[in-house]
């Protein structure tokens, strides 16, 4: 019985750690923020966003834009007068940890704008 309780406690602590880590990895984008995003259009499924210039998960260069609207887990970014839609609850995020400021998120695996491989968000 003790072993079962210890196992349940350990599993609970692991779950709490995973949830806490997931919250730290996803950046928060607000209206007016300058961002770099995938400019392939709404039909592209990578939906990469970053605070720094780089390449998106689909291999194209990120374009510089401004967050014009945020509603729930969706952000609208204006790039060269064109509005593009993004999901802010990403499947992948930069795995550098607290010291990194690139804030790269994507719906597909790939590299962050800082060059590190993105991690799957739990």
pLDDT of 81:
92
Q: What would the pLDDT profile of 91-100 be if each residue is shown by its tens digit?
A: 998 877 666 7
| Residue 89 near residue 26 (C-beta atoms within 8 A) | yes
* Domain total of the chain: 1
Residue 100 belongs to domain spanning = 2-120
Q: What would the pLDDT profile of 18-75 be if each residue is shown by its tens digit?
A: 444 444 457 888 999 999 999 988 888 889 999 999 888 888 899 999 999 999 999 9
Task: Give which of 68, 118, 70, 78 is closest to 94, Cα–Cα.
Answer: 118
pLDDT of 8:
62
Better-predicted residue by pLDDT, 15 or 76? 76
């Amino acid at each position: 019985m003790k072993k079962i309780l210890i196992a349940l406690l350990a599993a609970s602590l692991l779950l709490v750690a995973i949830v806490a880590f997931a919250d730290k990895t996803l950046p928060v984008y607000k209206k007016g923020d300058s961002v770099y995003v995938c400019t392939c259009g709404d039909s592209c499924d990578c939906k990469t966003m970053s605070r720094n210039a780089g390449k998106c998960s689909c291999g194209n260069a990120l374009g510089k834009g401004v967050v014009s609207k945020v509603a729930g887990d969706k952000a609208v970014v204006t790039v060269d007068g064109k509005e593009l839609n993004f999901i802010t609850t990403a499947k992948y995020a930069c795995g550098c940890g607290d010291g990194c400021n690139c804030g790269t998120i994507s719906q597909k695996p790939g590299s962050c704008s800082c060059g590190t491989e993105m991690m799957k968000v739990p």
